[in-house]
Chains A and B, each alone.
Chain A
Amino acid sequence: MDASMFRAWIQEAARLVVDNADHLTRLDSAVGDADHGINMRRGLQAAVAMLDETDPSTPGAVLATVGRALISKTGGASGPLYGTGFRQAAGALGEDPDVSAAQLGEALAAALTGIQRIGAALEGDKTMIDALSPAVTAYQAVIDTGGDLTNATRAASDAAVRGLKQTAGMQARKGRASYLGARTIGHEDPGAASTVLILSALATVTAASGRRSERPGTGAAS
């Protein structure tokens, strides 16, 4: 996977977030202050614009740029949380121009650790961690059993969706939703929902690049 694939990931994530901005905002209006879709749209659009402007040449540099853009444009709690996640992932990828599926797994794990460090949330608190953490586990399990990148990102995306669904039964213990206490039960967490979109974008672009690489004459999937 080179920089162009990571860029395609972020473009796809931005497209999904723009398409689903109203849905994210509706989820947030049930438990928070009704701005998650608006903020994520602003942040990811800024990230895409910054990638177009600076054209970073390595996967790590792409993710570092995205992290900076999210921190400086998103606002709310999602800016620092997602921004830190992307920057930690960038750090894990280093300066390699091409990264392997195993390296991407390490990057996802680093993102999870970074977000947990500043957000201090655990699984079950009804946050983005409830989607991201099972996704990282699923990705790793596929890679460890010899699966390829396409299967690993699909497994991660599916696990995130299951995690999101489970947040509906949880009572929020972090963020502004926590003030509502038991009244949050029955609603899916907006942060977990945006995490699903980002991971589903990753699965989409890796599947597309996997199909391309199966054509004769092209290189193997990285």
Chain B
Amino acid sequence: MKKLINSPDEVLADALVGVAAAHPSLTVNMSDRYIARAGGPTAGKVGLVSGGGSGHEPLHGGFVGYGMLDAACPGEVFTSPVPDQILAATRAVDGGSGVLHIVKNYTGDVLNFQMAAELATDEGVRVEGVVVNDDVAVENSTWTAGRRGTGATVFMEKIVGAAAELGADLASAAAWGREVNDRSRSFGVALTPCTVPASGKPGFELGEDEIELGVGIHGEPGRARGRLVSAREIVGIALDAIHTDMPLSGEVLVMVNGLGGTPLIELYVVYAAVAEWLAGHGVWITRNLVGNYITSLDMAGCTITVCRLTPQLTYLWDAPVETPALRWGR
């Protein structure tokens, strides 16, 4: 393992010190381990808290700021945050209108957020939760833990963040979140495994000419192993899977997201293929993101996320945002 770290056990603590130093707009609570807006809670606004394992940067800390999250709870690398952290963040961002938890569908995240929500409710803070489960690679049946939450998390945090800034109450903020989730689907492909600093070894083995199809964002293997083919063919596999699950039409928001170890030039190659595929199916990309937004440490590969837009969703997507990793219009 070759990494720019001081010690495998101190990666998160050291990174949080860096986050605090780099971004004066954020405050980092080192003992309770959460990142929040420096200005404190906004009176009357629904507070938005998300979180999950670390290693997905800029998710979630990079999306804390005006128009998006009020706080993020980073767990250990690839490990969900604990209820104490989430409770502390929830308390810290409650501006009197309640707090919405945005939770990716992983058993650990769901259980820890649930426990924190119960504790916060006991203290008199109103809490609701929205679960992101957009990954079409996972069979959604009663025999699995359900679909993973991946790229749609970024869409949800942005769109619900805008709605909350505009004065949405807790119930309607949650409703916007569910709408984004219902209209979004993702598919991921890994070209290499990633290495968790504490374990020091790649999460799985992958041959030179092999790829993992349908991966999540934790270095876990995907639903199948395939042969390395052209970017255009990989995009075809991904969009076929998405389109089969949720027929695409009209105007869409697309994110081509790097998993941490893929250069931008390859992401643009992928974006070109995505645009070509969608145009060929009569679908129009009216908004997009290309870059590293929800990563998996040093994994090479990408996820493709598509959201079927409505005029209201486009309006909320365009609303001003000012965070370390996403900013426009302000």
Real complex partners, A and B?
Answer: yes
Which of A's residues lie within 8 Å of B, judged by CB? 25, 29, 32-35, 38-39, 42, 71-81, 118-119, 173-176, 178-181, 183
* Stretch from B14-22, B108-116, B152-160, B235-243 that touches the partner: B108-116
Whether A74 and B111, one on each chain, are in contact in the complex, defined by CB atoms closer than 8 angstroms, is no
Interface centre among A34, A42, A73, A173 (most CB of B within 10 A): A34
Say whether, besides A35-B77, A73-B82, A175-B107, A80 and B112 are in contact (CB < 8 Å).
Answer: yes
Q: B199 near A179 (CB under 8 angstroms)?
A: no
A153 to B201, CA, bound (A): 36
Closest to A171 in B: B143
A118 contact from B82, B84, B111, B220, Cβ within 8 A? B111
- Tell me the complex Cα distance, A174–B105, Å: 12
Judging by beta carbons under 8 Å apart, are B84 and A38 in contact?
Answer: no
Given contacts A72-B82, A174-B145, 13 further A-B contacts (CB under 8 A): A25-B199, A29-B203, A29-B204, A71-B115, A75-B53, A75-B80, A75-B112, A77-B80, A77-B111, A79-B82, A80-B108, A80-B111, A80-B112
One digit per residue, 1 when the CB lies within 8 angstroms of any chain A CB and 0 when it does not, for chain B 194-235 equals: 001011010110000000000010111101000000000000
CA distance A174 to B80 in the complex (A): 16
**CB-defined contacts of B137 to chain A, threshold 8 Å:** 179
Q: B74 → chain A, closest Cβ, in Å?
A: 11
Interface string of B135-151 (1 = CB under 8 A from A): 00111000111001000
Bound-complex Cα distance A32 to B218 (A): 8
Residue contact A176 to B199, C-beta cutoff 8 Å: no
Please give, as numbers and ranges, the residues of chain A lying within 8 Å of B67 by CB-CB distance.
Answer: none
A contact patch SS: helix
Nearest residue, chain A, Cβ from B204: A29
Residue contact A183 to B221, C-beta cutoff 8 Å: yes
What's the tally of chain B residues with a CB closer than 8 Å to chain A?
37
Q: Does B277 contact A (CB under 8 A)?
A: no
Determine which of B79, B115, B216 lies in contact with A179 in the assembled complex, contact meaning CB atoms within 8 Å: B216
> Could you tell me the distance between the alpha carbons of A173 and B114 in the complex, rounded to whole angstroms?
21
Show the binding face of B for A, using Cβ within 8 Å.
53, 75-84, 106-108, 111-112, 114-115, 137-139, 143-145, 148, 196, 198-199, 201, 203-204, 216, 218-221, 223
In the docked arrangement, what's the CA distance between A28 and B84, Å? 25
Which residue of A has the minimal Cβ distance to B137? A179
Residues of A within 8 A of B203 (CB): 29, 33-34
The 7 closest A-B pairs by CB, nearest first: A178-B144, A80-B111, A77-B108, A75-B79, A76-B108, A33-B218, A77-B107
Closest Cβ–Cβ distance, residue A121 to chain B (whole Å) = 10
Query: Contact: B143 with A178, CB < 8 Å?
Result: yes
Question: Complex formed: what's the CA distance from A78 to B112 in Å?
Answer: 10
**A114 CB, nearest partner CB in chain B, Å:** 12
Partner of B148, one of A25, A80, A179, A183: A179
When distances are taken between beta carbons in the complex, the residues of chain B under 8 Å from A80 are: 83, 108, 111-112, 114-115
Closest to A22 in B: B199
- The residues of A that contact B199 with a CB separation of less than 8 Å are 25, 29, 34-35, 38
Note all chain A residues with C-beta closer than 8 A to B79. 35, 38-39, 75-76
Find the residue from B79, B80, B198 having the highest chain A CB count within 10 A. B79
In the complex, how many angstroms separate the beta carbon of A136 from the nearest chain B beta carbon? 21
A residues in contact with B115, CB < 8 Å: 71, 80
A35 and B145 CA atoms in complex are apart in Å by 18
Once the chains are docked, how many angstroms separate the CA of A95 from the CA of B82? 28
Specify which chain B residues have a CB less than 8 angstroms from the CB of A81 in the assembled complex: 111
Choose from A25, A42, A181 the contact partner of B223 (Cβ within 8 Å).
A181
Please indicate which of the listed interface residues B78, B216, B223 has the most CB atoms of chain A within 10 Å of its own CB: B78
Inter-chain contact B112/A176, CB cutoff 8 Å: no
List chain B residues, Cβ under 8 A from A76: 75, 79-80, 108
Q: B106–A176 contact, CB under 8 A?
A: yes
Question: A178 to chain B: which residues have CB within 8 Å?
Answer: 143-145
| Cα A118 to Cα B81 with chains together (Å) | 17
Question: Which residues of the other chain, A, contact B80 by a CB distance below 8 angstroms?
Answer: 75-77, 79
- The complex places the Cα of A181 from the Cα of B139 at a distance, in Å, of 9
| Smallest Cβ-Cβ distance to B55: which chain A residue | A33
Question: Closest CB-CB distance, B4 to chain A, in whole Å?
Answer: 20
* From B75, B76, B84, B137, residue with most partner A Cβ within 10 Å: B76
Taking CB atoms, residues of chain B closer than 8 Å to A181 are 139, 144, 223
